[in-house]
Structure 1
Amino acid sequence: MAFSHDMAHSLATVVELINTAPETHGEEALCDLSDLADFLARRQVSGIGALERRDLDEVRAVRAAFHEVCTAPDREGVITRLNALLSGTRITPRLTEHDGHPLHIHYFAPGSSVAEHLAAECAIALAYLLVENEWERLRTCAAPDCSHIFIDESRNRSRVYCDSRTCGNRMHVAAYRARRRA
């Protein structure tokens, strides 16, 4: 499935946000406001004002909620958790063009906190993934020492590693060496 620009961007943002958590990253990657500002700049999150300590705490809470959504044991669990997350946002869809991006839809309400902004944009993207029966594209890396979450955008849904250059290559080399020893 080919995702629109804003859908792909929001899915990549939620995946990267989840992967900043100690459970997936191995250590906290959002340690302070500077880390949060870097994350928001890297993900080109627009409409963000000055950051405060509460923003960091709220974003970490939203990140934990997204992790629960993405690791729910079944479809009903995903729906329940995603609805709970969506119910905590003020969603105001509006068309926008900015920063050289094509026309797309923003879902966060004007004046939203950064956490509510991320919750609205990313939860809508995950909801579309679920509605389009593409939820299985959201995966956890198959490498035994990696718990990163990723979106499989391959045509045949065959991707199993978060990054083919690191985890994939490491696992293929290990399998090759094991075959050579046998």
Structure 2
Amino acid sequence: MLFAHDTEPALLTVAALVNTAGPDEGLPDVPALTEFVVTQKYSGRHDRTDAELRAVRALRPRLRRIWHADEDEIVEIVNGLLREAHALPQLIRHDDEPYHLHAVPRDAPLDRRMAVEAAMALADLVRSREVSRLRRCAHPDCDNVLVDLSKNRSRRFCAAGCGNRAAVSAYRARKAAEET
């Protein structure tokens, strides 16, 4: 584990949230948002409304910018998210989890909690000088982002099967070259 027990899953959740945006909308409706909240193990308030869905969707482009930013720009985004949420970090224990930091109350709106959780995890990444772990998928036809938590920093592809597609393409290219 590179970071605090809650930082790594939070970073992976930020990437997952960013990757729900795109040509195939990953959060098309409130039930899809509910499934995301459950899958990503968000605790606390979840209103299950169209307004909440719009607010979460509106957060995604701002978080995506982080994968295209340098460290100073990441810090600006993180500080902005924390400032706007009036974040006040406190140690909290819930749901059989050990103490960890929450910076907004559990009854704060979902999009605000998502933004602050992302900002707190990204702050850890910046403080640890590990911003290079934020990557874009190396597959030419993919716009997804990822967090490389591997020991040797070798992860290049997102979780959407791009690594397999790249391997198949490379295999087919080798076979085609052998046949000529």
2:170 match? 175
- Give TM-score scaled by structure 2 length: 0.89
Question: How is 1:1-182 mapped onto 2 (pairs within 5 angstroms)?
Answer: 2-22=2-22, 26-72=23-69, 74-163=70-159, 166-182=161-177
Q: Provide TM-score, normalisation by structure 1.
A: 0.88
Distance change >3 Å, CA 180–CA 108, structure 1 → 2 = same
Aligned equivalents of 2:75, 2:118: Cα separation in 1:
14
Tell me how far 1:139 sits from its aligned partner. 0.5
Q: How far is the alpha carbon of 1:69 from its aligned partner? A: 2.2
Distance 2:128 2:3 in 1: 11
Structure 1 segments of 4+ aligned residues over 6 angstroms from their partners: none
Distance in 1 (CA, whole Å) between partners of 2:76 and 2:97 is 33
Offset at residue 110 of structure 1 (A) = 4.5
Give the match's secondary structure for 2:89. strand
Tell me how far 1:85 sits from its aligned partner: 2.2
Identify the range of structure 1 (103-112 vs 7-16) with the bigger mean alpha-carbon deviation: 103-112
Give secondary structure in 2 for the equivalent of 1:120: helix
Query: How far apart, CA to CA, are the structure 2 residues paired with 1:156 and 1:101?
Result: 29
Q: Report sequence identity in percent.
A: 39
Letter in 2 for 1:106: H
Unpaired stretches in structure 2, ≥5 consecutive residues: none
Q: How large is the Cα RMSD of the aligned pairs? A: 1.8
Counterpart CA distance in 1 for 2:131 and 2:140 is 22
What secondary structure is seen at the aligned counterpart in 2 of 1:175? helix
Give the AA of the match of 2:61: A
Deviation of 1:49 after TM superposition, in Å, equals 3.9
Cα pair 1:90 1:120 within 8 Å, conserved: no
CA contact (8 A) 2:66 2:77 kept: yes
Work out whether residues 95 and 106 of structure 1, in 8 Å CA contact, stay in contact via their aligned partners in 2. yes
Number of positions where the alignment pairs a residue of Structure 1 with one of Structure 2: 177
